[in-house]
Amino acid sequence: MAAVLEPYIYVGGIHQHTLITELLEDLGGYLIQKVPAATEVTLVMLIPREDVHLIEELGKKLLGKLERAPLTGTEIAVVSPTLASHHLPHSACDVAEFMRRGGANTNMIGLARGMGRRVSLSDNYERKLINEHDLAVFSFGTFADCIKNKKPKLLEGVTVPKIVAGGPLNVKTEEVAGADLYVGGIGRVAHRMRKPGELSSLDVLLEKVVEVVEKMREDLAKDPLAVLPPRVMKEIHEQIPEIFDVFSPAPVTLQLDGLRVKLPYDEFHERVENLEFDEGVRLSDMAVITKSRMKNYILVKIKRESEVGFTA
């Protein structure tokens, strides 16, 4: 039986941090992302549950800090009606930052150009781009009338879980048509959200997103994926060395049921499809590989165990 992997973030000095990564590899865990910054390094990891204490003990010796990051391995879209200053205020950036602190990879998406809500999502391309993510957080602003009666049309056609953030605290989820969850206290502001009440609202949003993600993980556990996304990432690193030449953040971005590989589709999709696993099994036997709507990237969606009849 495969080990249960727990998501954690380690923050510590860059000196001797390789001791952490070497121990992680020995334990059968996965390094999802490494972000060096001057004299510090941040490691996003998946650690076997029974071995977390070993990483924690070594981290303490190196004067580092290990914290659980429940959104590790997810990609979240933070969506605003437009890119204009009245629709993409500081709060949307703070929402994305709080999701990243939970371990998620986030993408900011502004829907329309110029005319706001009347033309946003008029292009089906935008819906498909949002649907490539694990879930979407929509920033709907401050006015209850807009949130309840006008902007819910932006949720139409979006099939991933939809969480709406807005200013009013008295709006209920069932009043926002199409939303899976509404979180108040996160409206339009002209400053970074750093006051106690504002930070509390962001904490509540993060908690609610974590609850949604945990439910999605429970659903996946009932019919597991044919191969774990971090396992695919490891094979990409070993079999496609060109991935190390990519300068985009998170060249291989994990999702709950797949990955986004930031390599040109036309040039690399066949090599991704032909990634070899145990006993001659190839990734194309266990996943659907398509061109992403995000630039020219490669999108990998892994099939369930019941669909392929085996696991790698």
Write the CB contacts of 293 (distance below 8 Å, at least 6 apart in sequence).
125, 128, 129, 132
Same domain, 21 and 48: yes
Cα 299 to Cα 292: distance, rounded to the nearest angstrom: 5
- CATH code for the domain of 45: 3.30.70.260
Report the range of poorest mean pLDDT among 52-66, 119-133, 171-185, 281-295: 119-133
pLDDT at residue 242 tops 90: yes
Same domain, 87 and 184: yes
Q: Which domain holds residue 113?
A: 75-220
Same domain, 57 and 83: no
Same domain, 96 and 127: yes
Percent of the chain with pLDDT over 90: 60
Q: Which among 53, 68, 83 is the end of a domain?
A: 68
Same domain, 300 and 284: yes
Same domain, 210 and 250: no
Q: Which among 220, 243, 274 is the end of a domain?
A: 220
Same domain, 61 and 94: no
Report the candidate in 234, 233, 258, 256 with the shortest Cα–Cα distance to residue 74.
Answer: 256
What would the pLDDT profile of 145-200 be if each residue is shown by its tens digit?
888 988 888 898 899 999 999 888 899 999 999 999 999 888 777 666 677 667 78
How many domains, in total, are found in the chain? Answer: 3
What local confidence, expressed as pLDDT, does residue 91 receive? 79
Report the range of poorest mean pLDDT among 72-76, 236-240, 277-281: 277-281
Same domain, 140 and 118: yes
Q: Which among 68, 98, 118 is the end of a domain?
A: 68
What would the pLDDT profile of 88-142 be if each residue is shown by its tens digit?
666 788 888 889 989 999 998 887 655 555 555 556 888 899 999 999 999 888 8
Percent of the chain with pLDDT over 70: 90
Asked whether the beta carbons of 159 and 180 are under 8 A apart, the reply is no
Same domain, 49 and 105: no
Same domain, 122 and 31: no
- CATH code for the domain of 206: 3.40.50.10350
Same domain, 188 and 155: yes
Provide the sign of the torsion angle of the four alpha carbons 291, 295, 296, 300, taken in this order.
negative
Q: Which amino acid is at 303?
A: K
Cα 18 → chain centroid: 25
Cα 163 to Cα 99: distance, rounded to the nearest angstrom: 13
Q: Which residue has the tokens 């969480």?
A: 163
Long-range contacts of 306-310 (CB under 8 A, 24+ apart): 306/223, 307/226, 308/226, 310/226, 310/281
Q: Tell me the backbone φ, ψ of residue 192, rounded to 5 degrees.
A: -65, 145
Same domain, 115 and 167: yes
Q: Which residue has the tokens 């990891």?
A: 45
